[in-house]
Amino acid sequence: MPTTASPVVISSRRTIRIVSRKSQLALIQTHWVRDELQRHFPDLGFEVVTMETHGDKVLDVSLSKIGDKGLFTQELEDSMLQGDSDFAVHSLKDLPTRLPQGLMLGCITERENPADALVIHPRHRDRTLATLPEGSVIGTSSLRRLAQLRHHYPHLSFKDIRGNLNTRLRKLEEEGYDGIILAVAGLLRMEMGDRIHETLAPAISLHAVGQGALGIECRQGDQDILTLLQVLSHPATTARCLAERALLRELEGGCQVPIGVNTSLEGDTLTLTGLVASLDGQRLIKDSIQGPPDQAETLGTRLAQQLRRQGAQAILDEILAAERAPNPPGQG
Ligand code: DPM
């Protein structure tokens, strides 16, 4: 395929430094980005620098409890701001919708299948989520997956699970889970697609904002880097994900809320579906909006406002109030 990038002015002596988390999945993604750029720009040097983030270190606390903004990104961002690296490769869904001053989303890559999947314990090989025995334990630490699955499968119970993909797959066998829910995209990138037992339809589980796409973050206005990143940009994925991120930005008020989305782009029509759920899965507020892809962010913002009016505001208020409530006595 011919290179469509505009001529790059970067000195060929410069080495571009890419910063990444250390997990196997993060490195697979980062190495893919490096290899693509190296193929397009054979005269430049690319180097991968790895770092651990807070989210990699704190593994005994529920994601939703430590769910501070930038759990998996902050250390990488500091490194770019200090000039120790030039850009960071993230799973877009781990990248907060508001970035620190001085940084920007340089590009969004083509999305892998954004659906969620069930990985099942071998003893249940001929079951599905619908037919698992009453009380079966499903591992997830995503409030989004939890709320939607509680709604559709009230016969199941749910238990937190943390750690990287390999850790979770080991825990599935060793720690009494009957199944775990993971992103199809992560499993495919790790070449573990054969572990996907059931792909969850959008009617059951709307995926997370940005799921399946990579987001590359760089310094604001770093024109050399932005020019390079253009070769990785995927316009259709970008329109879809910008709509999803605008929806999330408008809904999240500094708290962890079960929010799911689904998008499609057909011709010049972008369709965005969004959902806000109560934690118990009793209430699902869901609606859709359509418009041209160049209005992606406006569509996301408008759908968020629609959802608020339809009952999402009450759910957001409840979750925020519960988070702010003082700890019960003795838990200090
Ligand atoms: C975020 C969530 C999870 C990750 C919450 C959510 C899943 C946590 C869990 C924001 N980040 O999805 O509602 O289920 O316990 C994460 C994964 C990937 C990126 C793993 C996964 C790979 C897929 C991708 C963790 N971040 O979701 O199974 O690149 O989109």
User: Which residues contact residue 108 at a Cβ distance below 8 angstroms, ignoring those fewer than 6 apart?
Assistant: 92, 213, 214, 215, 216, 233, 234, 237, 238, 241, 242
Q: What local confidence, expressed as pLDDT, does residue 143 receive?
A: 94
Asked if residue 148 has pLDDT above 70, the reply is yes
Residue nearest atom 4 in ligand 1 by C-alpha distance: 94
Q: What are phi and psi of 53, to 5 degrees?
A: -110, 170
Q: State the pLDDT at residue 8.
A: 55
pLDDT score of 12: 56
The percent of residues in the chain predicted with pLDDT above 70, rounded, is 90
Q: What is the pTM of this model?
A: 0.93
What is the 332 CA–ligand 1 centroid distance (Å)?
Answer: 30
Contact 143, 256 (CB under 8 A): yes
Q: Which residues line ligand 1 (CB under 6 A)?
A: 63, 91, 93-94, 140-142, 144-145, 182-183, 185-186, 208, 211-212
What is the pLDDT at residue 25? 94
Positive or negative torsion for Cα 152, 155, 158, 164: negative
Q: Which of 65, 111, 142, 181 most suits a substitution to test ligand 1, by most atoms within 8 Å of the C-beta?
A: 142
Sorted by where each starts, the structural domains of the chain and their CATH numbers stand as 1-109+213-233 (3.40.190.10), 116-199 (3.40.190.10), 235-332 (3.30.160.40)
Contacts of 239 (CB under 8 A, 6+ apart): 265, 270, 293, 294, 296
CA distance 93 to 184: 13
